[in-house]
A and B are shown apart, each in its own frame.
Chain A
Amino acid sequence: MSIDRREFMYGLGASLGGVALTDLLSSDLLANNTNDDLKNDSPLAAKPLHVPAKAKACIMLYMAGGPSHIDTFDPKPKLDELDMKKFVRKDKFASAMASGERYFVKSPFNFRQVGESGISMCEHFRHLGSVADELCVYRGCQAESINHPTANYHMNTGNRFGGDPAIGAWVTYGLGSENQDLPGFIVLPEVAYPQGGSANWSNGYLPPYFQGTTLRAKGSPILNLFPPTGISRDHQRKNLDLLARLNEQHAQAHPDHDELAARIQNYEMTFRMQMQVPEILDIKNETQSTREAYGLDDLLTQDFGRRCLMARRLVEQGVRFVQVYTAGWDSHDYIERAHSQRIRSIDKPMTALIQDLKQRGMLDETLVIWTGEFGRSPDNGKRGGGQRAGRDHNAKAMAMLLAGGGVNAGHYVGATDELGEKAVECVNPIRNFHVTLLRLMGLDDNKLTFFHGGRFKQLSQTGGELIEELIG
């Protein structure tokens, strides 16, 4: 078998530039190949598009917990009339949470229309209005699951039960990466992982090169990037030198075993990555005005702001898909306090992100998506005996924002009913949103397949429809 050259490549520091490995390899595995050849065979090498598209990269801002569409981008005046009005729901297909005695809840927020497009936004979006005309507000998507982990899996992987590849893995598999020194799919989680955990950014059955690499918010950004304290770089180099010698002798005894070379190379990569990763993460050189714009000086916005800034930097470096998580949207009670805080924590950073991308001329090529796993209900149940204005989970209605990357900016697409209970216009399941997301990035869901377990598998599971209205 010819050597599987793809095995050489993975993520951070995967470029072959400056690798002095050929002399470590006893055979002529690499002799007939220039580095460029190897690069072209890398699983992360840039690949041709299926269809022409503007977006080269995607930043997905993921609001874990399920933000309320009714209190953000989909105002429902009808609820003002019905506020606190009671009713009883009995439905075999309703969860215990949504059953029994219910009462309607009006939005505690005022709305204003912003931009030339006149998009409605909750009053706590104080900054986002300035980029309103870059936004496409989509109110027709429907999830299927009303439970967080399954809904997260559905939104992220197309499969409610987890285990399948995440969108970022698919996109990287389909397009490769523009930068061989970085993974194609990077996840910027909060300190705490969302429900469902790392399966939300899994490579599933795709090769592991496409797994989402988390740059952890605290501690070592990549696990085991460095040896335990007390081991100097020189010390480690010496260990690696002995390892290389032992491996060299072993390779001579097993000239037919191709994987040995790949494994040798991986050890050299680790050594280089220890230098490179901290450089990538260092935001010291960003200007004070940038820091201010992203809200890095404010306790409320700095966590999300730092990760939005990091997302911009990574995309600038050629990373294909960046996902930024922020949780706390599961406002069953006291939605006024909870949602106003959450909204303010993301408002400034995400506005800065869109403006920053635009100023750098990157917005056209960068698809920005804002979404949660589902929307919220117009009504609430009693908990602990009291009525506290909040909202339960709602799979039938939600709000998403799309910006940049060839989207139908400055428009509303789709609508929910007068209570915000379910989508009624331009209604599409998540799989259609996935098909559309892929198309915006130049990929055809039906062609982006991977043969596994005897079947060509795809993000939409069994195929889906394009939501043309979202495309500009």
Chain B
Amino acid sequence: MNRNAIKTVFLACVLFVVPLCTFGQQPSGEPTADAEEVFAQRVLPIFKARCFSCHGDEPDDLRGEFDMRTLDSILKGGESGDPGMVPGNADQSLIFQAINWDELEMPPKENDRLNADQIQYVKRWINDGAPWPSEQRIAEILRTTDAKWNTHEGVKVKTSRGLSDDWTNRRYKLEDLWAYQPIRNVEFEIQPASRNPIDVFINRKLTAAGITPLPKADRAALIRRLTYDLTGLPPTPESVQAFVNDTSDDAIQKLINQLLASPRYGEQWGKHWLDVVRYADSAGFSNDFARPNAWRYRDYVIRSFNMDKPYDRFLQEQIAGDELFPEDPDSQIATGFLRMGPWEHTAMSVAAVTRQQFLDDVTNQVGVTFLAHELRCASCHDHKFDPIPTVDYYRMQAVFASTQFVDRFLPYQSHENTTGFEEGKTRIENLQKLKGPKSLTTIPRDQWPVESWDADTETKGHKKVANKRTQILNRELKRFKPFALSVYSGPDRDFTSMKIYAMMPKKKQMKGNVAETRILTGGSIESPSEPVTAGVMSVVESQRVKLNVGSGKRVTEFKIPNTIAGRRAALAKWMTLEDHPLTARVIANRVWQFHFGKGLAGNPNNFGATGKKPTHPELLDFLASYLIENDWSLKKLHRLILTSDTWQRATGPNLPSIAETDPDNLLYARFTPRRLSAEEIRDSMLFVSGELNLTEGGIPARPEINLEVAMQPRHIMGSVAPAYQPSPTPSQRNRRTIYAERIRTLRDPMLEVFNQPSLDLSCEARDASTITPQAFTLLNSQNSFDRSLAMAHRLSQSHNSIEDQIRSGFKIAFGRSASDQELKQCLVHYRQMLIIHQDSLPALSKPPTYVIREMVEEMTGLAFFWVEDLDVYAGDYQADLKPWDVSPEVRALADICLVLFNANEFVYVY
């Protein structure tokens, strides 16, 4: 296919190639047909699909005693005694009222509700006398009229096959199949040649809607927007000044290139990817054991973005790096993607269930991440809305049947950060020498929560706690060994969470069988039915093959080998075929979403019938083609988007015409302001306070989190999880948030409250809610006070007068100068605060060096207690700058800094 996307010819018009459509045409309106035909073609299939499960399929258990299988039984009605239908009068007919959700509401589930067309057909049939022909007659009608109905509101789609003929032969609205259509070869001509093609697409719709878009944002707003977009940090006052003063034509290009070349870019965009794949440093569930080497995957992602790894390669590495690029260390680390979901197998779980859970998770996650399809929906039944039969689900799942877990021994590469290993290892080894839980008798009596306790309970309890502590510490040691959370292809094998290492089996053990994949009836492993072999989404394949008929190329449906090795490699190859309709669209849409706050297709994880349709389908196709044309370079795609007028538009002042015509800004007449993400808020505070340590990568950092949450006891299997202690030094703690340890059952409440998503579910787009706990967090937390004090200290070090300190504070926090009025208000405030601070000396406080734990011992039903030492706080811990370290003047200035951090201007980007 010729993907030569842009021709820059001087012409005043824009030409579009007629979109290719492999599903055929779909005229609108209803076909002319008599009532019998409408019944056979439409009404009866609706009844079968939506009504009979409660009103016919089980004659002994009819809901409301209403049987819909025959005309007589409908006319007879149900328990109410009223007839179910009045032929000739739909409005008077109970079944019509019910499907119309007019008092009665049937089918009762919102998901099953009939659409307007379906309701219309039933209405038409009733009004035309409700004839119910014989079975032979129905068959006859279907045979003679299929061709006519085929062309009306709905097309059939060829898939492998559904579990029922009704599903196999069902019809889809053409608009719901957009994602399986080939990516359109959008050729058009631009005038003038310098125009950004994105603007051509966007402006076409704006013009059609009669909307004049807002002008470009001013320079100060642009640099702030751009710097946050690409790096997740604010611009420095110096770079703002330089950009505002640079009047050259390519000033913005230079800035974009500079930011794309910064390592901060990979940290910011890697964060987006980690949201989609649910990255975490722990395994979740009842032990929530550490995944001590998962950080290598996190760094791999960041590295891949920074080096602009072609996206097709990025995909292949994560799906099948071990098979496709066995010599490349990063490609082994990449397969950690397949293991990112929560996983645990202990004596309390059933091995077959746990394995199936993994297979379901990985199949669905691959679908969601790369193909924007929740494949899981098809695990119990053929997909309700999309052309994904259950057979396809299990064919895709069979791709992973030979995927086994391994902690792959993989020496560190020169670009991997291994600092802190020695001290980290020494710390764990020292802890291993200690006994762990101590009796209350080891602390002063006035701190005992009780006067006495049961000695037997204590002994039993302490033993369990010590045992769990050993398990946890042993896993911690693994952190400092060069293993990678990875997979290999091999025969069946058992895994358990209780084993710390899943080692690569010896050659001999690599012989054996791969479990046969069978369709699980209702998704239950207790009900296996027919076997399937590995395969791919048949809806995509049938369209690809159809499209190439007559092209001279011989394209056949893509096959996945049934060998132990090579299944994933084949899947990855299939997903990155140049004519794959989903892969490029999915990533282009994600990139757009992270730049604009919403995707062109509004559900980046769901391109199926129920996902939002693209607002600008041609543009999405253009971006997808552009990406492929440019060797799947995401940085080139960023440049194209960021240099468009569309992206550079002002957020306001809004025009009434825009506000009225397009309140949700679907046409992009303006740029939508956004709130900073959780990570951006934390990182920006550290950046502005001068404390941010920009070291890249390595074992997870442990920032200080709310102390009460850090000490919060959490039940894990047989014990209470150890307290969370931060990294000992400020520079170790004050790293970018992407490097902070992500523990599934212990989230940093500051990040959670600002909408950092769950670590268990793929997040396609973050929320940015405004809720009261956010104000508590930013106004009252120790973190806010520490950052404010550090910022005040920084300002007091660099400027002598309070006026200059305040002026500088505005510049580094907001990227602009303080107005005279603001300066005046801040000075008044400063003087008031100074009096308060001069009058009161801050009370010295130190973090605890141990914590008292309490648990009920299940063997005796009695509580027992223990003292848990906090070795970091008792040892090398160095606090951040504290109020007692500084003068009243700095403390008073810190109050102003606190206010700046809380200001709307700090957390919104325009």
* Interface positions of A (Cβ within 8 A of B): 1-2, 7, 10-14, 64-65, 92-97, 146-150, 161-163, 191-199, 202, 207-209, 216, 219-220, 222-230, 232, 235-236, 238-240, 242-243, 245-247, 249-251, 254-257, 259-260, 262-264, 266-267, 269-270, 273, 299, 327-334, 337-342, 388, 390, 393, 444, 446-447, 449, 453-456, 458, 463
Contact = CB atoms under 8 A, between A and B. Distances in A.
Interface in B850-908: 854-862, 883, 895-896, 898-900, 902-905, 907-908
B196 interface: no
A267 B780 CA distance: 11
B410 interface: no
A284 B143 CA distance: 81
A254 B910 contact: yes
A255 B898 CA distance: 24
B678 to A, nearest CB: 13
Contact of B374 (A226, A243, A453): A453
Nearest to B896: A242
Given A223-B773, A338-B861, A197 B110 contact: no
Given A222-B776, A331-B861, A95 B782 contact: no
A195 B713 CA distance: 11
A194 B285 CA distance: 11
A147 B526 contact: no
B772 A13 contact: yes
Contacts of A11: 771-772
A226 B780 contact: yes
A251 B715 contact: no
B621 to A, nearest CB: 21
B782 A228 contact: yes
B851 to A, nearest CB: 11
A273 B779 CA distance: 13
Interface in B738-770: 745-747, 749, 755, 758, 760-761, 764, 767, 769-770
A330 B833 CA distance: 54
30 contacts: A1-B663, A7-B769, A150-B285, A163-B758, A192-B715, A195-B286, A195-B715, A197-B745, A207-B769, A222-B773, A222-B776, A223-B777, A225-B776, A225-B780, A228-B785, A229-B843, A242-B826, A243-B899, A246-B903, A254-B908, A269-B775, A270-B772, A273-B772, A331-B858, A333-B858, A447-B110, A449-B109, A454-B610, A455-B377, A455-B610
Nearest to B860: A337
Contacts of B347: 95-97
Contacts of B708: 216, 219-220, 223
Contact of B883 (A230, A251, A444): A230
Contacts of B860: 334, 337-338, 341
B652 A255 contact: yes
Interface in B337-392: 342, 344, 346-353, 357, 374, 377
B787 to A, nearest CB: 13
Given A7-B769, A146-B348, A192 B714 contact: yes
Interface in B571-620: 603, 605-606, 608-612
- Which of A228, A235, A456 is most buried by chain B, counting CB atoms within 10 A of its CB? A228
A204 to B, nearest CB: 8
A243 B862 contact: no
B781 interface: yes
Looking at B351, B859, B861, B883, the one whose CB has the most chain A CB atoms below 10 A away is B861
Given A249-B822, A339-B861, 17 more contacts: A12-B772, A161-B760, A163-B761, A223-B777, A225-B776, A238-B895, A243-B902, A246-B904, A257-B908, A266-B772, A267-B775, A270-B780, A273-B772, A328-B861, A334-B858, A341-B862, A342-B856
B902 A230 contact: no
B732 interface: no
B597 to A, nearest CB: 13
Contact of B780 (A92, A150, A224, A242): A224
A266 B771 contact: yes
Given A270-B779, A331-B861, A456-B109, A260 B771 contact: no
A198 B777 CA distance: 18
Contacts of A330: 858
B659 A256 contact: yes
Contacts of A150: 285
Nearest to B745: A197
Contacts of B779: 224, 227, 236, 239-240, 267, 270
Contacts of B105: 447
Interface string B109-120: 111000000000
B110 A456 contact: yes
Contact of A251 (B603, B774, B777, B904): B904
Contacts of B6: none
Contacts of A249: 819, 821-822
B258 interface: no
B286 A223 contact: no
A250 B903 contact: yes
A337 B899 contact: no
B408 interface: no
Given A14-B772, A147-B346, A242 B714 contact: no
Contacts of A240: 779
B510 interface: no
B266 to A, nearest CB: 28
A12 B772 CA distance: 9
Contacts of B694: none
B202 interface: no
B709 interface: yes
Contacts of B758: 162-163, 199, 202
A455 B825 contact: no
B899 A246 contact: yes
B675 interface: yes
A266 B856 contact: no
B825 A257 contact: no
Contacts of A455: 111, 377, 610
B349 to A, nearest CB: 5
A449 B107 CA distance: 14
B59 interface: no
Contacts of A149: 284-286
B904 A93 contact: no
B286 A147 contact: yes
A22 B905 CA distance: 20
B861 A223 contact: no
B108 interface: yes
A245 B902 CA distance: 12
A472 B713 CA distance: 40
A445 to B, nearest CB: 9
Contacts of B899: 239, 242-243, 246
A249 B824 CA distance: 13
A458 B109 CA distance: 9
Candidate in A2, A163, A194, A331 with the most chain B CB atoms within 10 angstroms: A163
7 smallest beta-carbon distances between A and B, as pairs: A341-B861, A328-B856, A454-B610, A338-B861, A192-B713, A96-B347, A456-B110
A92 B840 CA distance: 69
A239 B606 contact: no
Contacts of B761: 163
B858 A65 contact: yes
A12 B903 CA distance: 22
Nearest to B368: A453
A96 B111 CA distance: 39
Nearest to A243: B899
A337 B769 contact: no
B319 to A, nearest CB: 22
Contacts of B353: 93
B832 interface: yes
Contacts of A246: 822, 825, 899-900, 903-905
Contact of B903 (A13, A191, A243, A255): A243
Interface in B767-807: 767, 769-777, 779-782, 785
B673 A257 contact: yes
A10 B771 contact: yes
